Structure 1
Amino acid sequence: MDEAKALPASYRRRSGMTKMKSFETHRKQRGIVYGVISLLIFSLAVVLPSLAVAKAARELNVTYVIAYLAGISAVTVYAYWSDKKKAETASWRTPEKTLHLLELLGGWTAAFLSQRLFRHKITKGKYQLTFWLIGALHQYLSLDYLHKWRYTIRFYQIIESLLK
C-alpha cells in the first residue's frame, strides 16, 4: 500500500499532501524547514552570549575563557551522545538533571546542537521547557553582563526598597 494513502485523508489535506506528493517527500520537506528554522533560532540565540564571551575574554584571561567553554561544550556533547547510545541499548541513562546542569554551566549551545545532531530529547515537552528556560537565562545574563549588571542591580534596589 502507498504510504501516503495509509494516512487519513484529513491529514493529507491539512498538510498539503496530494496524490502526487508521497509521504516520504513530505517528510523530507518538513525536515528541511525544521533544519532552517533550527539554524535561524540557533543563530539568534548565540548573538548575546557570543558578545558576552568576547567581553569576558577581553576582561579576563582569554585562554581560560576559551578553555572553559571548549571543555564544557565537549562534556555536554559527550553527555548527549552517551545518553542517546544508552537510550538505544536500554542501559542506565544520564539523569536529565545532569544534562540541564551542563546546559546551565555554559553548555547550552552545545546542547542545542547535540539535540539536533543526535535527534535526542527534542520531543520531550517538559525537558524542552526547562532547556529553553535555561537558554532564556543565558540570554538575560549575557545582556545584563554586557550592560554592567544594570538590570540585576536595579532589581535588587527595588527589592531592597520594598523590604524597608
Structure 2
Amino acid sequence: MKYQGRIFLTLALLVLFSGAIALLVSLGQLPSTVLVAYFTLSTIAFLLYGADKSAAKKNKWRVSETKLHFLSLLGGWPGAFAAQHVFKHKRSKPAFMRVFWTTVTANIAVLVLVAFEVIRINALDASAIPQALRFWQ
C-alpha cells in the first residue's frame, strides 16, 4: 500500500477511535479522565517514538521496545500508531508489530469492559482523585 493510503487509514482509525472515546464520555459510559489519559499517554508515546528514531539514526541510547509496548498497553497506542507512520519507525519489524497489535487489542478490550461496566476501575473516576489527595493530608 502506498504511503498516502497508509496515512489515510492511520488518520481514519485514530479519528474513529477518538470519536468513540468522546461519544462514550459524553454518554457517561466513561469518565473524562479516560480521554485525558489517552491524550497524555499518546503524546508521551509519540515523543518517545520520535526520540527513539532520532537516537537510532545517531547510534545513541534507545528507548526499549518493552517500554514502548508497555506505554501502548496503558493507552498510548494511538500516539504510538501515529508516530510509527510519521517517523516511519518500527513498522517494518514483524515481531514488534505483532506485540504492538496485541497491546492495542488488550487495551481496547479492557476499555470496552470498563465502558460497559463489566469491570470497574475506581481510579478512573474523577471523584477518586480528590479522595486520593485527602489521604495524604
Which position in structure 1 is the counterpart of 2:60? Answer: 91
What TM-score do you get using the length of structure 2 for normalisation? 0.69
Change (3 A) 1:97 1:74: same
The two structures, once aligned, show a CA RMSD in angstroms of 2.7
Q: Which has the larger radius of gyration?
A: 1
TM-score relative to the length of structure 1: 0.59
Q: Which residue of 2 aligns with 1:73?
A: 42
Structure 1 residues 49 and 143: alpha-carbon distance in aligned structure 2, compared to 1, 3 A threshold: farther
- For 1:131, give the aligned amino acid: F
Q: Which has the higher contact order (CA 8 A, sep 6+)?
A: 2
Structure 2 spans left out of the alignment, 5+ residues: 120-137
Deviations 1:23-55 (A, max 9, x none): xxxxxxx5xx34324533653476457424542
2:30–2:114 contact (8 Å) kept in structure 1: no
Measure the CA separation in 1 of the matches of 2:110 and 2:14.
13
Flag the 1:61–1:131 CA change in 2: closer, same or farther, 3 A.
closer
Q: 1:38, 1:133 → 2: CA distance?
A: 21
Number of the residue aligned with 1:51 = 20
Name segments (4+ residues, structure 1) moved above 6 Å.
none
Please report how far the alpha carbon of residue 67 of structure 1 lies from its aligned counterpart in structure 2 after TM superposition: 3.0
Q: Corresponding residue for 2:93?
A: 124
**Residue in structure 1 matching 2:81, options 104, 112, 115:** 112
Greater shift in the superposed pair: 33-42 or 115-124? 33-42
Contact 1:49 1:139 in 2 (8 A): no
Q: Does 1:35 find its partner at 2:4?
A: yes
Question: Who is 1:141 aligned against?
Answer: 110
Q: Which amino acid aligns with 1:107?
A: G
What are structure 1's unaligned runs of at least 5 residues? Answer: 1-29, 151-164
Evaluate the alpha carbon distance shift between residue 96 and residue 85 of structure 1 in structure 2; reply closer, same or farther with a 3 A threshold. same
1:90-115 CA distance string (max 9 Å, x none): 00111100101111111111100000
